Amino acid sequence: MDRRELLQAGTAVAAGMTLLKPLTAFGYAANSAVRHGLLGCGNRGTSVATSFAKNTTAQIVALADLFPDNLAAGRAHFDQVKAGLGQSALDSKLLFHGPHAFEQLAASPDVDLIQISTPPFFHVQHLETAVASGKHVYCEKPVGVDIRQARHALEIAKKVMSTQSVDVGFQCRNAPPIAAIAEKIKAGALGKVAVTSGVYYAPASTEKNRPGASKDEYRLRNWLWDRALSGDILVEQNIHIIDLCNWMLNAHPVKASTQGGRNVLTHYGDCWDNYEVVFTYPGDVRFSFSSTQFGTDGLFDAGLRLFGSEGSATVPYSGPIEITGKQAWKWEDSTTAAPGTGSGVGKFAANGAFSDNLAFADRDKERTFIESITSGNCHNQIAAGVETALSCMLGRMAGLQKREVTWDELLEHGENYELGFSLDQFA
C-alpha cells in the first residue's frame, strides 16, 4: 500500500480533486435535482445537508439515524428548510431509524445520493453498503479509524462504478482562498519547501446526556470522547490541517514522533486532549503539528504555514491568506467580503460551518460534487481520503507507543478497534 497503490485504488481519483473556480456560475435545470438522503442527523450531518439543500440542486428526501429522537429533530428541521425552499415536507416512508436504518436508506429507490455523517467508526461499513447500492456517496472524514478499516475502504474504492461519484468531506480544499494559494504553492511559488507547521486549538466538545441512557447509548451519543468511535482528536478533527499539508506537499508522511496525552479532561472517554506531532515527509521535509481540545474559554485557532527557499505561505482558517517572498501574493476578492479579512482569531463552529476563509468551503465542495453527478463526470475520492486518514493514524500510533513510527510499521502492525457491543439493542 504505497502512495501509487493508494491513488490507483479509486476510479479517477485525480478527477476527484477538481475545484470550481471561485466565480464559476452555478445552475442546473430543475429536472436535474439529485434526491439526497442523510444518514446521521447529528450536528455536522444536519449542517452539511442543510447546505446541500440551500446551495445546490439536491433535495433532501430521506433521513436515517440510529436514535428516534435524532430522527424526529432532523425531520422537524428539514421540513422547515424545505418549506422555506417551496418544497413538500418529508415523506414518512423515507424516515428510517434503528441499527438497520442505513441499509433501508441504501435500498430505497427514491434516493440518489447518501450523505454519511455517522460516528467515524461506522463510516467504512456504511460506505460499503452505500457504494454497493449504486448510489452516489458523500462520506464525512475520516475514511476509517484503524488499519483494518483503511484497507477495507481501498477494496470498496475498487468497486465504485464509473457512473458513481464518491466524495470525502475535506471541504477546506474547496475554500476559494485556500484553493487559490494551493495552486500557487503547487506551481512552485515557495521554491523548495523545507519545513511546515500547523495548529488546531479548539475548545472541549460538550456532553450529550439523555436521561435513562444505557452505558452503550451514552458512548454512542458522546462518540467524540471515545477513541474507537472517533479515532481520537488527531484522526477526527485535526485531520483537516494534516490533509491540507498532504495536499500541498503532494505526499504523505513517512514517519512520525508524537507526544501528548489526557492532561486536563476528566470526563468519560479515552481521547487525548493534546497532541504534539513531528511528521517527516519525503525529502526530509518536517511538519510540526500541535493541537488541543479542552477548556471553555472559546479559544480557537487552526491553520498551516509552509516555509520554502523563495518564500513562505500562511494558510489560516481566519486571517490573511498570503505568500511572502519572491512571488509575494495575498488573497483579495471583493465578491467574498468575509474571507481573508479577519483578525486571525477565529470562532469555533461545532457543526463545522466556519466563517472567514472557510465561509464558502462547504458550499463550493457540495456544488463541485453535485456537478460531477449531473454532468456525468463522476469521480472517486476514497483512496485520497484513506491516505490522509492513515497519516493521522501514524501520528496517533507514535503517541500511544511512545516511539517514532514509520509508515511501513503502521501498515504492518496497525491498530484495530472494536465497538465491544451490538447495535441490535437499539432496534
Do the domain assignments include residue 363? Answer: no
C-alpha cell at 82: 424545505
Range of the domain at 219: 175-357+389-411
Do the domain assignments include residue 34? Answer: yes
Q: How many folded domains does the chain comprise?
A: 2
C-alpha cell at 397: 500510533
H/E stretch holding 302 reads: strand 301-308
Do the domain assignments include residue 422? Answer: no
The β-bridge partners of 324 are 312
Helix, strand or coil, per DSSP, at residue 218: helix
Same domain, 179 and 166: no
Contact 66, 102 (CB under 8 A): no
Same domain, 278 and 322: yes
For residue range 159-187, list pLDDT tens digits in order: 999 999 999 999 999 999 999 999 999 99
Do the domain assignments include residue 27? Answer: yes
The b-or-e profile of 362-389 (16+ CB within 10 A means b, else e) is bbbbbbbbbbbbbeeebbbbbbbbbbbb
pLDDT category at 308 given cuts 50, 70, 90 is very high
| % of the chain beyond a pLDDT of 90 | 85
Same domain, 153 and 183: no
What is the per-residue DSSP string for 251-300?
A: S--SEEEEEEE-SS--SS----SEEEEEEEEGGGEEEEEEEEE--SS---
On the CB side of 160, CA atoms within 13 Å amount to: 28
Full-model pTM: 0.90
pLDDT category at 346 given cuts 50, 70, 90 is low
Residue 73 sits in a domain whose CATH number is: 3.40.50.720
Do the domain assignments include residue 421? Answer: no
Same domain, 184 and 165: no
Same domain, 168 and 179: no
Residue 175 confidence (pLDDT): 96
Q: What is the torsion angle, in degrees rounded to the nearest 10, for the CA atoms of residue 291, residue 292, residue 297 and residue 300?
A: 20
Interval 349-369 mean pLDDT: 79
Residue 82 confidence (pLDDT): 98
